[in-house]
Each structure stands twice: as structure tokens, then as C-alpha cells.
Amino acid sequence: MTTPGTAPDPETGPGSAPAPDPDDSATRAEVDRIREAFAREAFGVTPSPVPLAAVRSAGRSFRRRRTATFSALSALGAATVAAAVVVAVAYTDPSSSAPAPVAAPPATVTPRAPSPTSSPEPTSTPPRTSTQVRVVAPGERVDAGKGWKVWLTAEGKHWVGPDGLENSRSVIDGNVDTAEPGVSHQSSGNPAGAFHSGLYYGTRAVGGVELTGPGGERITATLLELPGRPGWGVWYAHTGATSGDLSVAMYDRAGKLLSALPG
């Protein structure tokens, strides 16, 4: 997590320079006018009575789902570690004539115990190693697995799912401020699993994009960029069944958090 007051990323460009006080350029009357407009809007509605029973019921369900998800992921994590140990032993056996191991799948799950003072913010724990960025040609369709394909053009990110419907997100339409580090997140899926992807931008030193589930499980995304280090790229990952919102965090190569979308 970026702590307040963190020094700006030196590779983020002119947009990362300290900004002046936003009130400096506005007259006091203008600020008061805006404050009054906000208060008028806020007091223009009359809230209903608090639906306490519904809140309690939904809160208990949320707690049960979170506990169940964490338990399942803990079991999955233990099984993954055990399998990794077995594989490592097999590959370090000097008598083994097995071929070189195939590349690891793009998404890995690392279970992590929740903090006793856990909050909705993403973790500040950096990924253990930087993710290698795959450089692709403009328009080169990358097989992202499970029927999904992703490709990049100078305009931005494009992807298509098993249903054949194409989507895109532009980096040049003005909705993305590439002067500062940031990530976007789009997802599509069903109760069995989901495909997550997004843009990352505002840095030429990306070290990884990581998703964190409501139970603390972490998924490292695959990164794609166009040639020439354009300062932006695309990340994608698959997740299994999740019962809550995922947070997305982008780190630099030193493991410093550059930007996060809280879950």
C-alpha cells in the first residue's frame, strides 16, 4: 500500500510532481459555493430507517463466505506447496532423465493469513519476484487460456472471450491519466471462475500486478506490453470461484506499490 506522503515515482513523468493546493487557484467564495452545493445535495434526501436486520443478515453471510473461501484456499495452498515440493525433488534428482519443466501457468495462488486488523485496503506485501513482461507485436493475439485472447494496439487493450464478443479499453481517449501510475480492472466470469484483465500505466518500471481476494489469496497476473516501453501495458489473470471483490495492485521492480484498486 502506498503510504500517504510517499515520494512520487521518478519514472512517472511530469504528472507526478507535487501539485499545488487545489484551493489556491479558487477564490474562497467559489469553494464556499461548492461546499454549499454539496451540502444542499446531501441534505436534499431523507434517508430511510436503517435496515438493521438486513444488514446483520448480509453481514453474517459475508462472514461465512469469507471463512469458507479462506478455508478452501488454505487447503488448496497446502496441496500446491506439497505438489511443488514433489516436483522440485523430481527435477533435482541427478538420475532423472526427464525433459526440462514446462513454463509455469500464468496465474499462481498464494494463500495468506488475514491480518488481525484487516481492512478493505490491499496488502502492502510486495510480490516475491518481479513478473517478466512479455513484449508483443501490435495486434498479436495472445492466448490467455480458457478461450480468452488478449491483444494490444497503439490505441489500447483488446480482448475477446469464449462467447466471441470483443471488448477494448483505450489509453488515448482521455479517460486514462498516463502521467501517474494506475491500473484498471475488468472481469467477466461465472460462479466457477473469472477472467480478469486491465491496463497498467504511468510507469516504465512495472514489476508486477497482483490481485488479492477477500480471503487474502494472491494471484500474480501475466503482463503484456508493446515494443519500445510505451509506459503502459495489459495484465490478465484467471481466478477460481470468489465470494467477494478483488483488489488489484501494481508494483515496480523493487516491490514498491505504485497504484492499487481496493477491493
Cβ distance to another protein smaller for residue 53 or 98: 53
Site for another protein in 24-43 (CB under 8 A): 25-26, 30-43
Measured distance CA(19)–CA(38) in Å, rounded: 24
Identity of the amino acid at 252: D
Decide: is 168 part of the binding site for another protein (CB under 8 A). Answer: no
Decide: is 51 part of the binding site for another protein (CB under 8 A). Answer: yes
Cβ distance to another protein smaller for residue 24 or 143: 24
Shortest spacing between CB 88 and another protein, in angstroms: 36
Q: How many residues bind another protein (CB under 8 A)?
A: 71
Measured distance CA(239)–CA(261) in Å, rounded: 17
The grid coordinates of residue 160 equal 475477446
Measured distance CA(48)–CA(122) in Å, rounded: 32
DSSP summary character for residue 62: H
Contact mark string toward another protein, 62..101, x via CB under 8 A: xx--x-----------------------------------
Distance linking the first and last C-alpha atoms of the chain: 13
Handedness of CA 247, 200, 8, 28 (dihedral sign): negative
Cβ distance to another protein smaller for residue 126 or 133: 126
| Identified binder of another protein from the candidate list 23, 93, 155, 166, rule CB under 8 A | 23
| Identified binder of another protein from the candidate list 59, 139, 162, 193, rule CB under 8 A | 59
Measured distance CA(60)–CA(63) in Å, rounded: 5
Site for another protein in 196-255 (CB under 8 A): 245
| Identified binder of another protein from the candidate list 121, 142, 189, 256, rule CB under 8 A | 121
For residue 145, the cross-strand partners are 148
